[in-house]
Structure 1
């Protein structure tokens, strides 16, 4: 049985021990994030780290993998097509050492602290795997529309490519400056890319001009919780794998008494996130 690594608040391997936290984001990159609600091309991982993370992610594509009971959520089509697995899951940090330790990567934490303006706390992770030639899409949405169970809105998403992410294989697209829009109603995340158009005002429709954010393997993009984004299908002959790390500014509170994620301990309404499942990343807890 796999050890549940959510009990370990701090690195358990040396994979990221040589990283330096200085100068992760340039002034121009920070300005772009503030102006457009996202920034891409941020180098977080070296080749060794990318390879280690790929091996762990690929192992988790096996439906019989050790620790499968630890996922918060797990969505896969392996029963329909075991050779072309479309995979989206939450909770990998609990299952494997490298996927656990990336939370405490000095470069990631430094960038997150800069963009959120202070100490950051883990919210949850995601894995996205689009197999070669697969039609799966992630429709346009704002992340915070799925996170209103936490307040205030001081969240940040980091999308990290384990493969080169291009227009051809379904890279993330962003709508620049949409982080200045109000919170929109939620629409379907699967299949219908244009569902969001039904809830936009005429002014928002006119400004709706998504741009691709291509990144190399080991590079990341960061985006604001209100930035509208999505991704098209993978039309390439290769898989497109990615890790997403979602964090909050320390002090963000629960806005419900039920568990914030499937299988986690509840954080009472009004209490700040903390404890076993929401560790502080700025230092070991």
Structure 2
């Protein structure tokens, strides 16, 4: 990570608070980008660092045109671990979330394939969704997703799109559309009650990152190029994030131990500390 002075200004914080997302300057240099691209190759080849396995894996199952992702990749790849626990990510998130401490909730690497033999393929689409719909075991929605581009990323290769201000709409319990590919149908479902639905593409240069709130609606369209779109994703949480039983537990809950209790903090080795003031 290149060394920079804090660059999240008050204007940046206000933009994030108002819109539910923010795009950073370039955070990582070209050498580190290349290392992370090679990390992708190693993970997909199941060449893991250490003898463990990720908690959740979603490989291609023999279909090269299918979206792929792995959760908790930091368990099995040193380059990804160093990236998603980098103190600068924590420092930036601390400023955006206005918190004194930032920990890793979990990470992902995501591989969006290029066009297959069928030409324009929607198999790599990510449907409109809110991240918190999957995280209703946490006691706060003040969470951020950091999406790090490992190549120039725009609409041509399926960049993320967000709906500015949608983080103020509260949680829609039906907003679990990640695995759905029909983006227009999902928009018709969620664009209701006079909402101001505006889709903004997050155009990033390699090494830039987008930061979005856990309630911000986001999704992405097809990769129309002949090269995969690669990213590293860190889901980060503020000081005081604790377990809240709302009937929506996820796999990471087991990492708190066999008898998790309401109010138990996510502060053990499975949720590394990135930054503390």
Aligned residue runs from structure 1 range 149-160, under 5 A = 149-160=137-148
User: Partner of 1:5 in structure 2?
Assistant: none
Tell me what 1:10 maps to: none
1:125 aligns with 2:81: no
Task: Return 261-270 or 127-136, whichever deviates more.
Answer: 261-270
Contact in 2 for aligned 1:140/1:189 (Cα 8 Å): yes
After superposition, where does 1:94-243 map in structure 2 within 5 Å?
94-118=75-99, 119-133=101-115, 134-135=121-122, 136-184=124-172, 185-190=174-179, 191-193=181-183, 194-204=185-195, 207-243=196-232
Local SS of the residue matching 2:255: coil
Cα deviations across residues 199-258 of structure 1 (Å, max 9, x unaligned)? 443312xx1111101101100000111111100010111110001101111111111396
Q: TM-score, normalised by structure 1?
A: 0.84
Secondary structure, aligned partner of 2:275? coil
| Equivalent of residue 33 in structure 2, options 32, 36, 50 | 50
Structure 2: how far apart are the matches of 1:47 and 1:146?
33
Distance between the aligned counterparts of 1:51 and 1:212, measured in 2?
24
3-state SS in 1 of match to 2:269: coil
- Is the 8 Å Cα contact of residues 156 and 225 (structure 2) preserved in structure 1? yes
Equivalent position of 2:241 in the other structure: 252
Distance 1:85 1:143 in 2: 21
Structure 2: gaps of 5 or more residues: 116-120
What value does the CA root-mean-square deviation take over the aligned residues? Answer: 2.4
Count of aligned pairs between the two proteins: 263
Q: Distance in 2 between matches of 1:123 and 1:219?
A: 21
Give TM-score scaled by structure 2 length: 0.86
Contact 1:71-1:92 at 8 Å conserved across structures: yes
Range that drifts further, 101-110 or 209-218: 101-110
Label 1:86 to 1:198 Cα distance change in 2 as closer, same or farther (>3 A).
closer
> Residues 74 and 63 from structure 1, CA distance in 2 versus in 1: closer, same or farther, beyond 3 angstroms?
same
Q: Deviations over 1:27-84 (max 9, x none)?
A: 4332221121111243211111111111111111114656685212111224133xx5
1:89 maps to 70
Unaligned runs of at least 5 residues, structure 1? 1-15
1:273 partner SS:
coil
Contact 2:43 2:77 in 1 (8 A): no
Which stretch shows the higher mean deviation, 167-176 or 20-29?
20-29
Q: Does 1:76 align with 2:59?
A: yes
| Equivalent pair of 1:25/1:42 in contact (CA under 8 Å) | no
